[in-house]
Amino acid sequence: MPRSTPPPISFRAAAMIAEGKRAQSRVAESLRESEHLFRTLTEKSVAGIYVVQDGRFRFVNANAATYAGYSAEELIGRKSDFMVHPEDREAVKENARAMLRGERASPHEFRIVTKHGGTRWILETVASITLDGRPAILGNSMDISEEKRTQEQLRESETWYRTLFETTGAATMILEEDTTISLVNREFVHRFGWTRQETENRKSWTEFVVPEDVERMKEYHRLRRIDPAGPPKNYEFRFLHKSGEARNVYLTVDLIPGTRKSIASMVDITDLRKADEALRVRGSELENKTRELEELNAALRVLLKRREEDRNELEEKVLTNVRKLVLPYVEKLKKGRLDPVARTSVLILESNLRDIIAPFSSKLSALHMNLTPRELQVAGLIKEGRSTKEIAEFLNVTPSAVNICRHRIRHKLGLNNRKINLQTYLSQLP
């Protein structure tokens, strides 16, 4: 049977086939260009870009791999959530689902665990795409670890300064350029009775200053913004307590660097000022008392001087009267006929009278206060040169008693170990 030959193709059909081939070529070229563009964009992008399909990485660019510590080849084919921090996995799934459903537009943050066990913070958005005719997820992410670290440092700094602001022992305010109080600490509330709700962003600090001090402080406030070093940074003024009482306050104030705001710290010195005033009054009283005492002392000195003059005058009269009126009669008795006892009595009388006019007895008793009256009596007789027998007869005691008294006198006068005659020693006394 003869072979049949194919029917000839028409010119129109041939043209259509050729056009179809050219279109396919254009599509293929377009796909190649699109793929090249996609790879260029993904590889050159500063963001981490990846495609997840069936829960595994189908594509990962260099950035997404690098900030996790892996190569792109190490991630392809692995489960997309293996790097997500265990504590963040559920939140990541929920946020991703909400974003794919169109219920969330903002990126979400989470942590990943790097190849070497470190932790990095990621900011991610996801979108639905089709890859090889099947649904897939396009992820776009950025490593925000440094930003998070900076934020944490800022939070720590803010917490530190807030703690310092609140726990300082001074009542402290933050003041705006227009004199508005923008912030107060709890010591301010405790010290002056005004609450935060009553003061912060509601009142000017000028409302708390007594009228007499306002203009001076307003001028300091104005000049401080022209030349921060010009006005004083420390001074006193009177602050109005919520009760209406004016409190004495010591202020330290300065501009916050880089701003037009002031920070002012106040210490209540009312009690100190009251104490100073009390001391001043007391000092004045003491000064007056001192002056009065000095005047009194001057008067006493005059009186004592007069008393001394009177005493000397009296002593002089006594001495003169004894010498002129008494001793002459004693001398007459001594010249008369007397028995031994009477003579001894006269001699003792004369000795005692001379002791009155010559301060032997008083000097002796002043120098030796430990001598008894009997020992002073015996010492006076010894000084006159009387013997032990004479002294015993006059005092109506035994000679041994007189000797014992002699021994005690020597001991009290410090003469026991000294070779000195007792009469001689006593005679040398004034």
Highest mean pLDDT of the ranges 183-187, 275-279, 387-391: 183-187
Residue with tokens 């950025």: 142
Q: In what order do the strands lie in the sheet with 108-113?
A: 56-60, 48-53, 134-143, 119-131, 108-113
Per-chain mean pLDDT for the chain: 83
Dist CA 192 CA 243 (whole Å): 8
Buried b (16+ CB within 10 A) or exposed e, 15-36: eeeeeeeeeeeeeeeeeeeeee
Using left for φ > 0, alpha for ψ between -120 and 50, and beta otherwise, residue 210 falls in: beta
Query: Pairing between strand 56-60 and 48-53?
Result: antiparallel
Q: Output the pLDDT for position 416.
A: 82
Is 346 a residue whose pLDDT tops 60? yes
CB 171 within 8 A of CB 191: yes
Q: Which residue ranges make up each domain of the chain?
A: 16-40, 46-150, 168-268, 337-427
pLDDT band at 26 (very low <50, low <70, confident <90, very high): low
Main-chain phi, psi angles of 312, to 5 degrees = -60, -40
**Span 12-40, mean pLDDT?**
59
Using DSSP's 3-state secondary structure scheme, residue 195 falls into coil
Q: Output the pLDDT for position 6.
A: 57
Question: What are the tokens at 303?
Answer: 């009186």
**Span 168-184, mean pLDDT?**
92
Domains 46-150 and 168-268 share a fold: yes
Q: Output the pLDDT for position 360.
A: 47
Torsion of CA 160, 166, 169, 175, to 10 degrees: 100
Q: Output the pLDDT for position 79.
A: 94
Question: What are the tokens at 144?
Answer: 């925000």
pLDDT band at 173 (very low <50, low <70, confident <90, very high): very high
The CATH homologous superfamily for domain 46-150 is PAS domain (3.30.450.20)
Is 78 a residue whose pLDDT tops 60? yes
Q: Output the pLDDT for position 107.
A: 92
412 vs 310, higher pLDDT: 412
> Of 33-47, 330-344, 386-400, which range is least confident?
33-47
pLDDT band at 368 (very low <50, low <70, confident <90, very high): low
Residue with tokens 């030349």: 227
337-427 CATH: 1.10.10
Q: What is the pTM of this model?
A: 0.43
Dist CA 78 CA 40 (whole Å): 23
Q: Output the pLDDT for position 91.
A: 94
Q: Output the pLDDT for position 413.
A: 85
Is 235 a residue whose pLDDT tops 70? yes
Is 31 a residue whose pLDDT tops 70? no
pLDDT band at 120 (very low <50, low <70, confident <90, very high): very high
pLDDT band at 371 (very low <50, low <70, confident <90, very high): confident
Dist CA 172 CA 183 (whole Å): 8
**Span 143-148, mean pLDDT?**
90
CB 334 within 8 A of CB 349: no
> Of 89-93, 218-222, 354-358, 388-392, which range is least confident?
354-358
Using DSSP's 3-state secondary structure scheme, residue 297 falls into helix
CB 188 within 8 A of CB 171: yes
Q: Output the pLDDT for position 430.
A: 57
**Span 247-263, mean pLDDT?**
92
Q: Write the burial class of residue 349 (CB in 10 Å: 0-12 exposed, 13-18 middle, 19+ buried).
A: middle
Dist CA 327 CA 118 (whole Å): 126
Is 221 a residue whose pLDDT tops 90? yes
Using left for φ > 0, alpha for ψ between -120 and 50, and beta otherwise, residue 252 falls in: beta
Max CA distance (Å), the chain: 220
pLDDT band at 131 (very low <50, low <70, confident <90, very high): confident
Is 208 a residue whose pLDDT tops 80? yes
Q: Which helix (H) or strand (E) holds 244?
A: none
User: CATH number for the 168-268 domain, one of 3.40.50.300, 3.30.450.20, 3.40.50.10890, 3.40.190.10?
Assistant: 3.30.450.20
Q: Output the pLDDT for position 197.
A: 94
pLDDT band at 200 (very low <50, low <70, confident <90, very high): very high
Main-chain phi, psi angles of 318, to 5 degrees = -60, -45
Q: Can you say how many angstroms the Cα of residue 172 is from the centroid of all Cα atoms in its chain?
A: 16
Main-chain phi, psi angles of 348, to 5 degrees = -65, -40
Is 161 a residue whose pLDDT tops 70? yes
Q: Can you say how many angstroms the Cα of residue 350 is from the centroid of all Cα atoms in its chain?
A: 83
